Amino acid sequence: MIVRIMGEGQVKLADSHFVELNELDDVLLKEMESGDSPGFRTTLHALLDKVRELGTPLPDDSLEPSELILPAPDATLEDVRAMLGDDGLIPS
């Protein structure tokens, strides 16, 4: 799957990693619902770091259709709320 991190670029990520990423996404969703801004910031960075760690960066001149778009590291709680679907940032 091709994942775009807004403001950074794209990575190719094996579908097998989505169980682990969904766990972080679930925590992020709970923090957003409770208004836990510091927890949200920590979990968002953990999620993006995990995507970077597990994914293979695509070349900057490559523009593949992204199947999943994640917010930039500096996104606010409100920015991410606007991006959320019913399943969070990462569909189950």
pLDDT (0 to 100) of residue 92: 61
Strand-pair partners of 5: 9, 70
% of the chain surpassing 90 pLDDT: 59
d(CA 32, CA 3): 22
10 Å Cβ neighbour count for 15?
7
Distance between CA 78 and CA 92 in Å, rounded? 22
Bridge partners of residue 10, in order along the sequence = 4
Residue 39 is predicted with a pLDDT of 95
Cβ of 69: how many Cβ atoms within 10 Å? Answer: 13
- What's the confidence (pLDDT) of residue 91? 67
Q: In the predicted model, what is the mean pLDDT of residues 45-54?
A: 96
Per-residue pLDDT of 7-22, as tens digits, reads 999 999 999 998 889 9
According to the model, what pLDDT value does residue 40 have? 93
Question: Given phi > 0 = left and psi -120 to 50 = alpha, else beta, which region is 52?
Answer: alpha
Write down the pLDDT at residue 88.
67
Q: What would the mean pLDDT of 57-86 be, rounded to a whole number?
A: 86
